[in-house]
Amino acid sequence: MTSSSLTSSAAATETADSAIGDETVYKREPQPWHGAFAKPAKEFPPTDLEVLAGRIPEGLQGTFYQNGTGRLERGGQPVGHWFDGDGAILRVQLSAAGAKATYRYVQTTGYKAESKADRFLFGNYGMRSPGPLWKHMLGLFNGTTIKNSANTSVLALEDKLLALWEAGNPHSLDLETLETIGMESLGWLKPTQPFSAHPLRDPISGEIYSIGVNSLCELSIYRCDASGGLIKQQAIALKNIPLVHSFVIAGPYLVFLVSPVKVNPLPLLLNQLAYADAVKWDPNQGTRIIVVARESLEIVSDSYADPWFQWHYGNGCTEADGSIRLDYARFDDFTHINEVLREVPSGRMKTQAYGRLWQLRLDPKTGRVLSHECVVERDCEFPQVPDSKVGQPWEQTYVLMHREGVKTGEDWFGAVGRFDYKTQQLTQADLGTGIYGSEPLHVADGQTAENASEGWLLMVVYNSVDSRSELWIFEAKGLGEPVCRLALPGVIPIGFHGTWQSS
């Protein structure tokens, strides 16, 4: 694939006002999508939702949860990176009687302490620890240097909701009230032990798989039962403290694509750099491909390929010939996408970075790349498949995209698409001028659950025209106009990841 260089028309309007150290302050106004982040979100109690258009499908009955950063400033000081914001959960219950929504912050120890002090007290992904070095060093030993923001994703278990943050334990919440119960060990996690923000549930066995990069620079792999109880764990030695955000199930295998990102630990230990600044792109290493047997968690193959970076996968499976097929949102490097995400809190994105949906085929026994191709030549992220297809052969992958003609740095994602591997066709729905989307979540229709091509896409959008957030429901098979639009009681910052629990 030949990639054309991307330029932002907005960059021409930027004028340097002043420079402080290595940072340049720009006069350009925040972009319209930034209205979703401009002020800390306000919690709201269970509230009946107004139907703006259409109606709730009869086969869509259950509860939608989404996690994201509820606030990006404290005491007038902005966070250093989008990943630093405090986690807040949106809950929307859908039924024949209508829709009801609740929004609450996860009451982490750090959130409560900083709320009381009205200032930042902890380091985070893009922020150094405030205070003297001795306090920072002491915090490294007792786990209080970095704030567990509980802001990335959610996992609904039978009796609790987990708010996930990949560098530490989950937080447990009440499924109905969203009341924070506390840190959740699941009966086996040690304090501060990482548990992925992207666990995967096998649709056949119900087992849950998760990961974490521990302090020994090992990739910890967890195989759990349906309630999160540990069945087996394994550790794989890594190099240079890489960033492993997610992974994929592919039939009897787990696949990890370890991009050539490494962390310089000394400036972190001495509190000279935040994690986001200590992470460096090193393409000379190449991308490491680790294939693991799903049941035993033993390595099947360990190989290297060309360098690239990815946050998120769509899905994986094994084909009739025994090969592995998977897809993911690929970036050419880490540096640029990390800068884009750092610029989100300001609303003034200047950096150009883009993702494309790529498909990779592997020989699981050797790790040899059989084919590797771009299948969607449009800026896109957050690939999704139906839950029933996780780890199984699938045909459609859903993505959040930029509108036609819009490039990263010019605007936020304003379209949703479905790529069909059988027809090789991309179907898209433009959200409209001034409407901005978040991760599209596929939900099976309760009346046609056996057909994965049926069902619905749920998406929280920010309507900058009317300065409000809405929940949109699309027909997954046809896309087109949303079949239902629901007004949320307040502005919800554009979030990260969600889940669905059927009634």
List Cβ neighbours of 113 (8 Å cut-off, separation of 6 or more). Answer: 121, 122
Q: In this structure, how many other beta carbons lie within 10 angstroms of the beta carbon of residue 75?
A: 9
pLDDT at 28: 63
Question: Taking residues 258-271, what's their average pLDDT?
Answer: 91
Residue 264 clears pLDDT 80, i.e. is over it:
yes
Could you tell me the fold of the domain covering 37-502? Methylamine Dehydrogenase; Chain H (2.130.10)
Choose the weakest-confidence range: 25-34, 108-117, 296-305. Answer: 25-34
pLDDT at 452: 62
Choose the weakest-confidence range: 21-35, 87-101, 341-355. Answer: 21-35
Dihedral sign, CA of 241, 242, 245, 250? negative
The Cα–Cα gap between 213 and 154 comes to 19
pLDDT at 451: 64
Question: Taking residues 110-139, what's their average pLDDT?
Answer: 92
Structure tokens at 385: 């498949």
pLDDT at 20: 31
The reported pTM is 0.93
Q: Name the DSSP class of 448.
A: S
Q: What is the 3-state secondary structure (H, E, C) of 10-29?
A: HHHHCCEEEEECCEEEECCC
The Cα–Cα gap between 170 and 153 comes to 10
Transcribe 457-497 into DSSP letters.
Answer: EEEEEEETTTTEEEEEEEETTT-SS-SEEEE-SS-----S-
Beta-carbon-side half-sphere exposure of residue 242 (alpha carbons within 13 Å):
27
pLDDT at 52: 98
Which segments of 229-367 does DSSP mark as H helices, in order?
A: 265-269, 275-278, 335-343
Helix (H, G, I), strand (E, B) or coil at 39: coil
169, 200, 310, 432 from 183: Cα distances, Å = 7, 20, 29, 40
CA angle in degrees (0–180, nearest 5) for 62-68-74? 140
Residue type, 502: S
Residue 8 clears pLDDT 80, i.e. is over it:
no
Helix (H, G, I), strand (E, B) or coil at 34: helix
Residue 26 clears pLDDT 60, i.e. is over it:
no
% helix / strand / coil in the chain, to the nearest 5?
10, 40, 45
- Do 276 and 338 form a contact (C-beta atoms < 8 A)? yes
37, 104, 132, 438 from 268: Cα distances, Å = 28, 32, 14, 32
Residue 195 clears pLDDT 80, i.e. is over it:
yes
Choose the weakest-confidence range: 175-189, 259-273, 315-329. Answer: 259-273
- Do 31 and 494 form a contact (C-beta atoms < 8 A)? no
The Cα–Cα gap between 132 and 139 comes to 11
Question: Taking residues 405-418, what's their average pLDDT?
Answer: 86
Residue 470 clears pLDDT 70, i.e. is over it:
yes
Question: Taking residues 277-286, what's their average pLDDT?
Answer: 94
Dihedral sign, CA of 186, 498, 361, 475? positive
Question: Taking residues 141-151, what's their average pLDDT?
Answer: 87
Phi and psi at 341, nearest 5°, equal -70, -30
Closest residue by Cα to residue 61 from 93, 101, 90: 93
Dihedral sign, CA of 425, 426, 428, 433? negative
Residue type, 270: L
Residue 211 clears pLDDT 90, i.e. is over it:
yes
pLDDT at 279: 93
Dihedral sign, CA of 494, 499, 502, 503? negative
Choose the weakest-confidence range: 411-425, 438-452, 472-486. Answer: 438-452
**CB-neighbour burial class of residue 406 (10 A; exposed 0-12, middle 13-18, buried 19+):** middle
Considering the chain, what percentage of its residues have pLDDT values greater than 70? 92
Question: Taking residues 107-117, what's their average pLDDT?
Answer: 97
- Do 174 and 159 form a contact (C-beta atoms < 8 A)? no
- pLDDT tens column, 322-380: 999 999 999 999 999 999 999 999 998 888 888 999 999 999 999 999 999 999 999 99
Question: Taking residues 51-73, what's their average pLDDT?
Answer: 97
Q: How confident is the model at residue 134 (pLDDT cuts 50, 70, 90)?
A: confident
Q: In this structure, how many other beta carbons lie within 10 angstroms of the beta carbon of residue 97?
A: 10
Residue linked to tokens 């959008």? 461
Mean pLDDT computed over every residue of the chain: 91
- Residue 401 pairs in a beta bridge with 380, 415
- Do 65 and 173 form a contact (C-beta atoms < 8 A)? no
Q: What is the 3-state secondary structure (H, E, C) of 385-428?
A: CCHHHCCCCCCEEEEEECCCCCCECCECCCEEEEEECCCCEEEE
Q: How confident is the model at residue 13 (pLDDT cuts 50, 70, 90)?
A: very low
pLDDT at 449: 57
Question: Taking residues 68-87, what's their average pLDDT?
Answer: 96
How do the domains of the chain map onto residue ranges? 37-502
- pLDDT tens column, 437-461: 999 999 999 876 556 668 999 999 9
Q: How confident is the model at residue 24 (pLDDT cuts 50, 70, 90)?
A: very low
Q: How confident is the model at residue 3 (pLDDT cuts 50, 70, 90)?
A: very low
Question: Taking residues 288-301, what's their average pLDDT?
Answer: 98
pLDDT at 12: 30
- Residue 381 pairs in a beta bridge with 400
List Cβ neighbours of 132 (8 Å cut-off, separation of 6 or more). Answer: none
Question: Taking residues 177-196, what's their average pLDDT?
Answer: 96
